[in-house]
Every structure is written in C-alpha cells, then in structure tokens.
Amino acid sequence: MMDFVLEAWVSSLIEITKLSWMLGKSKRWQPGEKLKLLFAGYNGTRNMGSDVRVEEMLRQIRHILGAKNVAFSVMSQNFDFSRGYFEGTRQAHLPDIFPPFLYREVPQHDGVVACEGSMFKSKFANALTTMMIGSLGIAAAQNKLSVGYGAEAGHMDPVIAKMCGRYCRESLILTRNEESRGLLRELGVPTELGTDTAWTFEPLPAEYGRQALRDVGWDGNKPVLVVCPINPFEWPVKASLAKFVLWKVAGAYKHSQYRSVYFHNSGPEAARAYEHYLTSIANAVKAFREQRNVFVIIVATERLDARPARRISESLGGVPVLTSDAYDMYQLVSILRSCTMMASSRYHGIVTSMPGLVASAGITMDERIRNLMAERGHEDLVMNVDDGDLEGRLLVALEKLYKQGDLIADGIGRTVVKNLRVMARMGVYFEEEVQRRYPEFPTRKGEWGWEDYLPPISGNLRGLMDRYGESEMAGAGRVQRAV
C-alpha cells in the first residue's frame, strides 16, 4: 500500500511539473550558462558499486562536455559516507521520503542523469525504481535532458511498468545489455546499447591492496581467494506504514527494518533459503581450502553485506572480513584486484576486479552477473543463489578458477576492452542527446577517436587495450562531429 502511495505521489508531481512547463513557468538553459546536471542515484550508503560507477560517469561526462561548461550535483543519502568522493561535484541530500525533494531539486537543473544500475526493476525496491522514474520524468516534463546511463531493466510490477512507459517516453535510456533494451522498447521507451561505467575506475596502486592483505595475515605468496556475499533473500525492500508503527510501538520487525518506513523481505522461507546459501558457500570454500593452499578473505562491498560476510567467516574459523565501512572505494578495489580468485554475488565486485584480471565466478540472484558471464564466455562459472546443489557447483567452479586462471583471465581481458569501446560509444550517444536538447550548447567539433569519449584512463587499462584491443577495436574508428 505504501509503495502505491509513493508511486501515485511521484506521478502527480510529474503531471504538475508538466502543467507548469506548459504554462511557461520553467526556466530554460541559456547559452553562456553552465549546464547544470543532477546525477540521481543510490549514493551515500557505502555501496561500493554504486559509488564507483557514478564516479566514472561524472569523470566521463565532464571530460566530454568540458569542465568549464558544466556544474554537476549528485544525490547522497549520507554525506559522511560519501565524503571525499565525487571531486568537483555538489552533493545534495536525498531523504528517505523523496517525492518533495525531487519536485524541488530536479527543476533547479538543466537535466537529470539517472545512475542506478538496477534502474527499472521490482526485484530490489519499487521505491528505488519510482525515484528513478520520478527524476527522469520531472526533467522530461520540462523538456530538459533526461538520460538513464548504464541501466538495466527487469521484471517490474504492473503499476511500475506503466509509470515507466508513461513518464520515460521522452527520456533516453542507455542500457547495459540487449535484454534490457528489449523490455524497455516494449514499453515505448527510447534506448541505445551501452554498458556499465565502472570499467575505467582506477583504485589506489596495487601495493596498497597487497599491503592490506598482509595486514590481515597473508604471507605474500599464497593464492588469495576473495568471497563477496550478500543476503539475496532480504529483497525486495518495501515501504510499510503498518510495520513502521509496530516497530515504533512494540519493537516488531526490528531485524528486517532497512530504514524509516522501508523493510526488507523476511519470514521463514527467506530465512531457510538464506541459511542454505551461507552454508553452501562456507562448505564449498572449506573443502576447497582443504584441497588447495589458499588464503581466504571475505569482502563486504556494501554495508549490508557485513552480516553475511561475518556469518561465513565464523563458519570458516574466523577468516578476515573487510567491509566498505572500513575501506573506501579506492582502497577496496585495490584489495580486490590484489586477489587471485573471486566468488561473488556482487556484480560490481566482479566488474571492478576484472581490469586486474582476477579469475572470478558468480553466484547470482538476478540476470546481471549471468549476462556478464555469458559475455565473457564463462557460463560455466555462474550459479544461482538458490541452487539446491550450490555447494557442489561452487566447489567445481573454484577448482576451475585455480586450474584455468590464465585462460579465464584472457576472456576477462577481452571483455574489459570490449566494454571500454561500448562505454566510449555511450559517451557519443550522450553528447548527441545534449545537442538535441540544447543545440546551442558548445559541444566538441571536428574528428575524435573513440578513446576521446572515455575519461582519462590508467596505464593498466592502456596495457589491456594494447594486449587485447586489436580484434575488439576493429571498426571502432573515429567519430566525426559536425563543424
């Protein structure tokens, strides 16, 4: 019921904004002004993946449009958790009850860039998808730039799907895969094929990650296996006024409360599935460690993941647990890339480790990791979180990572370079959309190479491009901008 109230509230605000624009009450960007863009996402929660991908969006788009021509703002739910991130960007506080914030904040900008990877899904939270649709819809209602950048679409509840089709028809959604494009096209939403933006992220130097591993007991020689778990069965999060009142009055639902009126999925079935997931991972890693002389760490790339991480650690006799509370994104990715092997239920755990050629397997709750593994040609390295034989399948996958690491790394390297090209093309689409909305905006002219549409990249990525780029870059060519 509460989700429906949020959906109706946001829909009404979009309609009011549209009426205001029709009456000529909306401010329009003028030549000579900086283009003010609001990056709408799930930041300020110490979710490494969300923060990394937004950091790279900001760098890429600022590079393409020119730093002197733009002024960026990014949403943050907690300034303490996003302090030191997003250099040169204003941070705006996103409250838990967000519709008034969107109605007030979005019109102060010349456009919205929606950042959340799981942008159009009911799998995690209808409230989050409602916030994404609201941000894009309010901007589009004022005939302003309205772009979803590196998005995925999955199953949406009927009301959410209807909202998406109605209010995102004037947006441009750059999706991470063709499956998402197909779903959005059915709703009448314009799309182009893009990718994730975390590929260009550069963490602290490798020596930081190696030293962090030594600090928690690594001898500097053993292969390192990192496990990135989640609780896949506590989703979706739903708003519930009734649960909120019972929590306030009687302390009920305290273990499933996410924040304020939002509560995780819970119940006996979810608890049983969660226990099976944790036990399967712990048993597989225990058996693998008995067969192979490896050093094991558990990494929580999101604050919520600390709970399953510590549960698995206890089952393994107390292996080190490193969390996003204790390490920022620059530190955590350096640590991940210093490992040898990875088993992860976190999509960005895998993505951010790939430029380090870390051999990885996925334990997935949705299509994101499965699509990525298929792109790499590693369908045999992905499992479902609820597989009955998860323990056995994971043990087989870990053995493949150990024995076939070099071969797996080759597929990883080629995938990284391929996605760099797609990310550059996504930048071209973005620049063209800016020109469509604001023809007088001073975009770049002349001929540009595909790499000019990426943010400045590291020597490590350039090395991968030199090594794997010949076949992947075929046809990438140069981009001709109108003079």
In terms of domains, do 87 and 171 share one? yes
Q: Are residues 238 and 297 in the same domain?
A: yes
Q: Are residues 182 and 63 in the same domain?
A: yes
Residue 275 counted as domain residue: yes
Average pLDDT over residues 406-429: 96
Say how far residue 319 (Cα) sits from the centre of its chain: 27
User: Minimal CA–CA distance to 124: which of 268, 267, 264?
Assistant: 264
Ranges assigned E (strand) in 65-142? 70-76, 90-93, 111-114
Domain boundary (368, 403, 438) is at: 403
Residue 359 maps to a domain: yes
For residues 176 and 235, state if they share a domain.
Answer: no
- Total count of domains within the chain: 2
In total, the chain counts a number of residues equal to 483
pLDDT at 241: 73
Say whether both 78 and 171 belong to one domain. yes
Tens digit of pLDDT for each residue in 286-322?
Answer: 999 999 999 999 999 999 999 999 999 999 999 999 9
- Pair (384, 292) in one structural domain: yes
The answer to whether 335 touches 212, Cβ cutoff 8 Å, is yes
Question: Which has the minimum average pLDDT: 70-84, 238-252, 429-443?
Answer: 238-252
> What pLDDT digit, counting tens, does each position of 165-220 carry?
999 999 999 999 898 999 999 999 999 999 999 999 999 999 999 999 999 999 99
Whether residues 218 and 156 fall in one domain: no
- Nearest in space to 110 (alpha carbons), one of 155, 150, 65, 151: 65
Judge if 107 and 48 occupy the same domain. yes
Report DSSP letters for 28-62, one per residue.
---TTS-EEEEEES--SS--HHHHHHHHHHHHHHH
- The predicted pLDDT at position 476 comes to 46
Instruction: Kindly report the pTM of this predicted structure.
Output: 0.92
* Amino acid at residue number 294: V
19 burial (CB, 10 Å; 0-12 / 13-18 / 19+) is exposed
**Residue 465: inside a domain, yes or no?**
no
Residue 293: both structure tokens together:
């002389």
Last residue in a domain, options 194, 218, 246: 194
Residues 211, 217, 222, CA angle at the centre, nearest 5°? 85
What percentage of the chain reaches a pLDDT higher than 90? 81
CA angle 359, 288, 365 (to 5 degrees): 60
Find the CATH number of the domain harbouring 156. Answer: 3.40.50
DSSP state for residue 456 in the 8-state scheme? P
pLDDT band at 264 (very low <50, low <70, confident <90, very high): confident
Has residue 470 got a pLDDT over 60? no
Residue 459 included in any domain: no
- Of 63-67, 251-255, 270-274, least confident by mean pLDDT is 251-255
In the predicted structure, residue 420 carries a pLDDT above the cut 70: yes
Question: Does residue 338 contact residue 326 with C-beta atoms inside 8 Å?
Answer: no
Same domain, 56 and 190: yes
Residues 189 and 212 in one domain: no
Greater confidence (265 vs 136) lies with 136
Same domain, 325 and 210: yes
Q: Cα 183 vs. chain centroid, distance in angstroms?
A: 19
Give the separation between CA 11 and CA 140, rounded to whole angstroms. 13
Domain final residue, candidates 403, 419, 454: 403
Under DSSP, is residue 88 helix (H, G, I), strand (E, B) or coil? coil
Tell me, yes or no, whether 411 lies in a domain.
Answer: no
Question: For the segment 121-130, what is each residue's pLDDT rounded down to a tens digit?
Answer: 988 788 899 9
Q: How confident is the model at residue 471 (pLDDT cuts 50, 70, 90)?
A: very low
Distance in angstroms (rounded) separating the CA atoms of residues 256 and 234: 8
The token pair that represents 344 in the structure block: 């992860």
Looking at the fold, whether 38 and 156 belong to one and the same domain comes out as yes
Tell whether 217 is covered by a domain. yes
Bridge partners, residue 478, by sequence: 449
Residue 453: inside a domain: no
In which domain, by residue range, is 73 found? 2-194
Does residue 444 belong to any structural domain of this protein?
Answer: no
The pairing of strands 224-228 and 341-344 is parallel
User: What CATH number is given to the structural domain containing 342?
Assistant: 3.40.50.2000
Which tokens sit at 261? 């009126």
